[in-house]
Amino acid sequence: MSRDGFKLFAYLGISALLSFTVWTMILVPDYLSHQGWPAQKIGWAMGLFFIVALFSQVFSGHLADRIGNVPTALIGTGIALGGCIFYWVALRWPDAIFAARALHGAGAAMVGAGALFHLVRSVPQNLKGRVMGYFGLPGFVMMGVGPLIAERLRHSWGMAGVFTLILVNFVAVGVLLRCLPRPLAPKGTRREPFSRAFRESFPNLRPVIFFAFCFGFGLSAWNSFLAPTVSEIGSGAISAFGVGYGSGALVSRLGLSQKLDRGKNRLIAISSLTLYGVGLALIPHADHPWHLGMIGLGCGVSHGLYYPALSSFAAARFHPLHTGSAMSLYMSAFSLGMFLGSPFWGYIGNQWGYLWIFTAAGLFVFCSTLIFLISRSWSRARRLIWPYSAVTSQK
């Protein structure tokens, strides 16, 4: 294998392993509910991963600009391994899950940022959005494989087996990173303070950041509460949804999305998230695993179409001198939505039950998609919704 071929394999492998650690954790809410935790406390525990990831992603972009992508990812691997220790402690003391989720989120964000920044910086501007989409492809495979393996491990060895698997994954990530070259930032390059990078990047990215936040907010509903919601259906329900979701996302990402990630076609791809909202609302009404598989398939197709299109919007607005910081802002908006969404949906679950979590989440995704589409296709609405956006954001 050539050097460039190995680097591509390594980065896609890192993406797969990181996603695997995320999707095996989908069983944690069900474990915590059996420990007597209320839904909102579960939401805070699950959401903590994403708020820590948010700040870590912003920090990682600035750090990667200074010391290089691979060193940033290696630091993240060490932090994530520390989180694995707390996952084991949580088997005896469940509240340790908060420390575990925080360290896991910080480490995963730094590893993912280091790998993704390298890939995006190596391609022309018009392909950045598509490359960001390809980097996420292994994640959709793991979305189906992760819950399936996690269910088998929990059945055989309990949650201890699941938590041990997370440790093994991060050890493998560290091995792959050690095999990669570790260039530092170019000598003589002047790095601007993060505050200035933020000021120069945020105005252009304002609409994209808003929509990425909204999608993360809605997605957190099933990421945090799918397992306890469908537990009565029986074994295989969660993995059926994951397999359907991952399959749909792969098919659309490798097929139609490549024709819809440029120009006005991007709005067509993003409009598919209205169907995503409908799928969220249908989750509590599923009676059999295959129902969840079909719902997951529809949601996955929408996700596979939407992400490269929105990433293309974002890439066109990255500041040329602050690519790392701009990409971090875009990625962290999704994490902020996931963090705030989990406890919010948990509160709704405590008050009115899981049915209303998914009904409200579906309606939220549907309405936020319509707002974004109207603002991008109607210039007057764009000026009303994003009055301070820079001129380039209207392209």
Q: Find which of 73-77, 186-190, 253-257, 382-386 is predicted with most confidence, using mean pLDDT.
A: 73-77
pLDDT at position 187, please?
A: 44
| % of the chain residues with pLDDT over 90 | 20
For residues 270 and 157, the answer to whether their CB atoms sit within 8 Å is: no
| % of the chain residues with pLDDT over 70 | 74
Question: Is it the case that residue 359 has pLDDT exceeding 90?
Answer: yes
Give 314's pLDDT tier (boundaries 50, 70, 90).
confident
Residue type at position 48: L
pLDDT at position 291, please?
A: 92
Query: What is the Cα–Cα distance from 220 to 25, expressed in whole angstroms?
Result: 13
pLDDT in tens, 45-83: 988 888 888 788 777 766 776 777 778 888 999 999 999
pLDDT at position 2, please?
A: 55
Q: Find which of 7-11, 22-26, 104-108 is predicted with most confidence, using mean pLDDT.
A: 104-108
Q: Find which of 134-143, 258-267, 306-315, 359-368 is predicted with most confidence, using mean pLDDT.
A: 359-368
The arithmetic mean of pLDDT across residues 322-336, rounded, is 69
Q: Higher model confidence: residue 367 or residue 152?
A: 367
Query: What is the Cα–Cα distance from 193 to 319, expressed in whole angstroms?
Result: 14
Phi, psi dihedrals of residue 389, rounded to the nearest 5°: -70, 150
Query: What is the Cα–Cα distance from 255 to 19, expressed in whole angstroms?
Result: 22
Give 26's pLDDT tier (boundaries 50, 70, 90).
confident
* Nearest in space to 367 (alpha carbons), one of 301, 297, 276: 276
DSSP secondary structure letters along 169-230: HHHHHHHHHHTS----SPTTPPPPPHHHHHHHHHHHHHHHHHHHHHHHHHHHHHHHHHHHHS
pLDDT in tens, 97-134: 999 999 999 998 888 776 666 555 555 555 555 555 55
Question: Is it the case that residue 206 has pLDDT exceeding 50?
Answer: yes
Q: Higher model confidence: residue 129 or residue 94?
A: 94
Q: Higher model confidence: residue 245 or residue 325?
A: 245
pLDDT at position 185, please?
A: 44
Question: Is it the case that residue 95 has pLDDT exceeding 80?
Answer: yes
* Nearest in space to 32 (alpha carbons), one of 17, 54, 47, 53: 47
pLDDT at position 319, please?
A: 53
Full 3-state SS string of 13-75: HHHHHHHHHHHHHHHHHHHHHHCCCCHHHHHHHHHHHHHHHHHHHHHHHHHHHHHCHHHHHHH
Query: What is the Cα–Cα distance from 379 to 251, expressed in whole angstroms?
Result: 33
pLDDT at position 19, please?
A: 83
Give 383's pLDDT tier (boundaries 50, 70, 90).
low
pLDDT at position 152, please?
A: 85
Question: Domain 9-179+201-390 has what CATH class?
Answer: mainly alpha
Question: Is it the case that residue 389 has pLDDT exceeding 80?
Answer: no
Give per-residue burial for 7-42: e unless 16+ CB within 10 Å, then b. Answer: beebbbbbbbbbbbbbbbbbbbbbbbbeeebebbbb
pLDDT at position 262, please?
A: 67
pLDDT at position 195, please?
A: 59
The model carries a pTM of 0.71
Give 171's pLDDT tier (boundaries 50, 70, 90).
very high
Give 234's pLDDT tier (boundaries 50, 70, 90).
confident
Query: What is the Cα–Cα distance from 282 to 276, expressed in whole angstroms?
Result: 10
pLDDT at position 130, please?
A: 56
| Summary mean pLDDT of the chain | 79
Give 387's pLDDT tier (boundaries 50, 70, 90).
low
